[in-house]
């Protein structure tokens, strides 16, 4: 009788161990599937046109490229390098809007408006298709920006250079949405920064700030730049002799007067 009881006990123990192992395995599988389900459910949906999160972009970078006059080949090369670095700095979910300056005050040519959707390298293979994501990134984000970069420097001579009006328009169009109030915002100005319009012209009135304040331009082009980080890629066009230092001082003062969070000036190479 003792042997039978021992065998029965051993068999019961084995069944218990097996049951425990099955429970552990089931719990582990449930945990894995739970994690995958959570990841899949929390994947951010993207707008098909802008590739931005349907909720909101995570940040906004607006770029104003001044193509109102041609630039030197060296400046063009430096500008393309900066532009490439800018493209690589846009985070996943971050929006970049690119405008070209026209000679009509307040009217800009928008050439790009999309978010970085993330590349295949950043995709989770367990819940997504890295090839599809890579192609979407290349076709919708990387390639179009490369094309814009290749076209930098192909500007035509213009009668006016309304930079003030351009900044005002960008602030309204790119940054002005109420839902974007708390988003990180960055404004990039790639220009010689020489304002030239009937309201105020640095060529006619000079670059002294008091002369600017004596015109209607401060009121006409006032725009609140609070909580916006500004970066100025300034360059000298061939044949223009206005001091880069004076230009930086003028714009630094105007940007501060309009509430810019911080301003950084970068003098591009190619002064002639």
Can you give the pLDDT of all 272 residues of the chain as single tens digits? 444 555 555 567 767 767 777 776 676 555 544 443 444 444 689 999 999 999 999 999 999 999 777 788 899 999 999 999 999 999 999 999 999 999 898 899 999 999 999 998 866 666 568 899 999 999 999 999 999 999 887 766 778 999 999 999 999 999 999 889 999 999 999 999 999 999 999 999 999 999 999 999 999 999 999 999 999 999 987 777 788 899 999 999 999 999 998 899 999 998 65
Report the alpha-carbon distance of residue 267 to residue 269 in Å, rounded. 7
What lies within 8 Å, CB to CB, of 225 at 6+ separation is: 167, 171, 187, 255, 258, 259, 260, 261
Per-residue buried b or exposed e for 103-123, using 16+ beta carbons within 10 Å of the residue's own CB:
eebeebeebebbbbbbbbeeb
Query: pTM to 2 decimals?
Result: 0.82
At 64 the pLDDT is 97
**Residue that is written with structure tokens 């940054």 in the block:** 175
Strands 108-115 and 185-191, bridge-based pairing:
unpaired
Contact 79, 190 (CB under 8 A): yes
What's the confidence (pLDDT) of residue 58? 96
**What distance in Å separates the CA atoms of residue 11 and residue 5, rounded to the nearest whole number?**
10
Whether 256 and 222 have beta carbons less than 8 Å apart is answered as no
Beta strands in 128-269 (DSSP E): 185-191, 228-234, 262-267
Q: Alpha-carbon distance 100 to 10, whole Å? A: 82
pLDDT value at position 39? 44
pLDDT score recorded for residue 27: 61
193 CB burial (10 A radius; 0-12, 13-18, 19+):
buried
Whether the Cβ atoms of residue 270 and residue 73 lie closer than 8 Å to each other: yes
SS3 77: helix
């Amino acid at each position: 009788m003792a042997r039978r009881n021992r065998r029965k006990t051993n068999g019961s123990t084995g069944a218990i161990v097996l049951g425990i192992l099955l429970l552990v395995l089931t719990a582990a599988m449930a945990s894995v599937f739970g994690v995958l389900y959570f990841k899949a459910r929390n994947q951010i949906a993207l707008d098909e046109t802008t590739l931005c999160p349907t909720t909101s972009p995570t940040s906004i970078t607006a770029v104003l490229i001044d193509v109102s006059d041609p630039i030197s080949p060296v400046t063009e090369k430096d500008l393309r390098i900066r532009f490439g670095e800018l493209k690589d700095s846009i985070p996943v979910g971050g929006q970049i809007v690119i405008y070209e300056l026209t000679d009509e005050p307040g009217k800009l040519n928008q050439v790009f408006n999309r978010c970085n959707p993330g590349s295949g390298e950043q995709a989770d293979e367990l819940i997504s298709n890295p090839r599809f994501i890579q192609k979407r990134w290349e076709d919708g984000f990387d390639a179009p920006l490369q094309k814009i970069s290749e076209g930098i420097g192909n500007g035509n001579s213009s009668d006016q250079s309304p930079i003030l009006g351009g900044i005002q328009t960008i602030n309204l169009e790119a940054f002005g949405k109420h839902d974007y109030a708390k988003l990180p915002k960055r404004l990039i100005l790639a220009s010689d920064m020489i304002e030239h319009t009937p309201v105020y012209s640095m060529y006619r009135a000079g670059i002294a700030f008091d002369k600017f304040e004596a015109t209607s331009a401060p009121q006409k082009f006032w725009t609140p730049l609070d909580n916006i980080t500004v970066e100025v890629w300034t360059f000298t066009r061939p044949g223009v002799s206005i001091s880069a230092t004076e230009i930086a001082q003028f714009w630094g003062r105007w940007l501060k007067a309009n509430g810019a969070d911080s301003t950084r000036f970068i003098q591009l190479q190619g002064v002639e």
